[in-house]
A and B are shown apart, each in its own frame.
Chain A
Amino acid sequence: MAFVFFAYFAVVSIVAGILTVALKNPVQCGLALLALLLHVSGLFVMLNAEFLWAVQVIVYAGAILVLYLFVLMLLNLKTDDRYFHAKAPYLLAPAAIGLAYLLFLLVGSPFNGAKGDASPAAILMNGDAHAIGIKMFSDYLLQFEIIGVFLTGAIVGAIVLAKTPKSIETRRDA
């Protein structure tokens, strides 16, 4: 049963990823990206990461994607005739060969390592959010604070960048 769900989430996220890159209309690309994000969040549930599932749905699908769609609608883009790079067909074959070789290497690799202390049973005892919170606010507190400062800076920078320049305003008044 788990395999059926994994196959569904994996296949749909890959197809949605390809559609995001291949579709012509930017709004359709955004909707394909939405499908990708939701199915990737499904993969997180398969991996016992319920908190990341919620964060993915709320932050990615809820905030970031809405921002993309908002800007797309705001700019009211006309679809270009040339929406791919001129040499795109020549890039496809090397990309496919490189990806096939990479997959061959990855699937053959053993991927072993030292096990940590967060076994699925230990996580399920108090829930995933509890486990992440304990770790985040003890070992990773400094990084958490840095991310907070980073996000503040990003928001301030975005507002400053996207603000209407003053010179245009005064020119319009004159």
Chain B
Amino acid sequence: MIPLSAYIAVSAVLFATGLLGVLIRRNFIIVLMSVEIMLNAATINLVAFSHYLEAMQGQIVALFIIAIAAGEAAIGLAIIIVVFRGKISTNVDEMNLLKW
């Protein structure tokens, strides 16, 4: 029997990886991928608690998280395309203006 703490630990490591990726990567697309890693870490947490506390709510919220992630990916990539069209770059250091 695998303890609940093992799943929580995996989730914590993945979340820290994603957070570090958001902080140190300069490519906007990779930053969005790091956000996906963090969302996956949260999903693991929810499903693990859902299994160990024998309640269905965790899996429902995990489904909602996957739907939110789909919306976030679509909007984020659309924004990347708009910015790329104007500046020919996806480096977040060069996106320092809201309007130009």
Residues of A with Cβ closer than 8 Å to B?
2-3, 6, 10, 13-14, 17-18, 20-21, 26, 29-30, 33, 36-37, 40, 43-44, 46-49, 51-52, 55-56, 59-60, 63-64, 67-68, 71-72, 74-75, 77, 80, 82-85, 88, 91-92, 95, 98-99, 102-103, 106-107, 109, 111, 113-120, 128, 131-132, 135-136, 140, 143, 147, 150-151, 153-155, 157-159, 161-162
Contacts and interface: CB of A to CB of B under 8 A. Distances in A.
12 contacts: A14-B14, A29-B33, A43-B7, A52-B62, A80-B91, A95-B19, A98-B16, A99-B12, A132-B60, A135-B60, A143-B64, A155-B71
Nearest to B64: A147
Interface of B: 1-2, 4-10, 12-14, 16-21, 23-27, 29-30, 32-34, 36-37, 40, 43-44, 47-57, 59-60, 62-64, 66-75, 77-82, 84, 90-91
A36 B8 CA distance: 16
A140 B60 contact: yes
A47 B11 CA distance: 14
SS class, residues of chain A in contact with chain B = helix
Q: Top 6 A-B pairs ranked by shortest CB distance?
A: A116-B55, A154-B71, A21-B21, A161-B78, A158-B78, A88-B24
Given A13-B10, A47-B47, A117-B55, A33 B33 contact: yes
A116 B56 contact: yes
Nearest to A135: B56
Contact of B54 (A20, A60, A120): A120
B71 to A, nearest CB: 3
B30 A26 contact: yes
Nearest to A21: B21
A14 B41 CA distance: 10
A140 B68 CA distance: 16
Nearest to A2: B2
Nearest to A109: B5
A162 B55 contact: no
Contacts of B17: 14, 17-18, 20-21
